Structure 1
């Protein structure tokens, strides 16, 4: 059974809006509501990146696959993102969880998975997808700040699949999302109109995300 939340989603949103509207500092709000200033800032960051849903308390203890933990640890070790930003990006409860995964990863210890019992999608299990599906999934991921977890859950694919498709797209464009195995059409023979349409679709997703970030 998950622990009872001290602050409801509505209360968190109230605190976040008070901060963003300049009514009080994170320190003032922490004193007023009886929480840490760092917690207030964390809620603000999550809200700015993921919206109101990021402030919702899960009804169960959050579980993560070994695959997910490894990808998060490797992402941090690349040196391009802080622990806090990584926690916000993947909606992970706190930095200490990530630090523990990194420690285990560096020590070559097993990053164990915890089985979900709520009937939700097992993000460790991938599935076959069409080219159009991969375009749609990457587009969704781009529009939502590269939220691989949300994309994996929404489209019932593995976290690793989403991560890999976005990585391929960033490196080689839409042609890299084409499955060239079997009797499918060769990447080199893709219709130019098809290629440009897909590129424009994903570029629009990038622009929309940048516009949202600029507003904040």
Structure 2
């Protein structure tokens, strides 16, 4: 398969042909470009328009935390490599494959940019309710940890850890554990009912967040066809 570069106009012409009900495999044969590359172009065009079809003249920056999160998502087996690069806005599958190779060979994964790493590792204190809101928003946007971090002015690593804690133990896992924890066996009947209601609310929130994420994945699948 040819490795030559394609102009924005050429990419757009190929995408127009795709919209005219040609399959990606037919276009692969006709234009000598891999069908997965065509899908990448379509995704970028749908999201960013013509700007998404332009070749970037600068290297895209990624934090160490983002690299590790993307690798773990892929290795979990829940998503394909193409779904992972779209969820984390990674430039190509080859970039992610390179990170995975380093990870499997126990080599260090560093921040792409020193300037970005300083802002990525700087966290701030938050209250319990705020952490819950951040987690809900992050789950609702398909686990875009960086977007949530930017929105709430916290670090990527904080968001990543809070989401994992919530998935493992719910809202209670997001509390500051340095205080004294009251055992469930010593709760009054009223407190037990309130705790059960909290658990049900948490499950409903989790299901709503998952449904939003599944809708995003369905949209990705529709665009790939």
TM-score normalised by the chain length of structure 1: 0.69
Alignment check: 8 A CA contact 2:64 2:111 kept? yes
| 1:63 positional shift | 1.0
Alignment check: 8 A CA contact 1:144 1:209 kept? yes
Partner in structure 2 of residue 90 of structure 1 = 88
Return the alpha-carbon distance in structure 1 between the equivalents of residues 183 and 127 of structure 2.
Answer: 14
Rate the CA distance shift 1:107–1:214 in 2: closer, same or farther, 3 A: closer
Return the alpha-carbon distance in structure 2 between the equivalents of residues 159 and 30 of structure 1.
Answer: 38
Partner in structure 1 of residue 210 of structure 2 = 206
Alignment check: 8 A CA contact 1:148 1:162 kept? yes
Return the alpha-carbon distance in structure 2 between the equivalents of residues 121 and 30 of structure 1.
Answer: 43
| 1:196 positional shift | 5.0
Q: Which runs of 5+ in 2 are unaligned?
A: 1-5
Which of 98, 110, 118 does residue 100 from structure 1 map onto?
98
Alignment check: 8 A CA contact 1:73 1:98 kept? yes
1:124 aligns with 2:116: no
Give the number of aligned pairs.
203
Matches within 5 A, 1:1-216: 6-7=7-8, 15=15, 19=18, 23-27=21-25, 36-44=34-42, 52-53=47-48, 56=52, 60-115=58-113, 117=115, 122-182=119-179, 192=195, 197=201, 199-214=203-218, 216=222
Return the alpha-carbon distance in structure 1 between the equivalents of residues 117 and 68 of structure 2.
Answer: 21
Return the alpha-carbon distance in structure 2 between the equivalents of residues 99 and 172 of structure 1.
Answer: 31
User: When you count helix as a share of all residues, which structure comes out higher?
Assistant: 2
Return the alpha-carbon distance in structure 2 between the equivalents of residues 63 and 149 of structure 1.
Answer: 12
Q: Which runs of 5+ in 1 are unaligned?
A: none
SS of match in other structure, 1:203: helix
| 1:91 positional shift | 0.8
Return the alpha-carbon distance in structure 2 between the equivalents of residues 59 and 186 of structure 1.
Answer: 57
TM-score normalised by the chain length of structure 2: 0.67
| 1:43 positional shift | 4.0
| 1:210 positional shift | 3.2
Rate the CA distance shift 1:99–1:211 in 2: closer, same or farther, 3 A: closer
Rate the CA distance shift 1:46–1:123 in 2: closer, same or farther, 3 A: farther
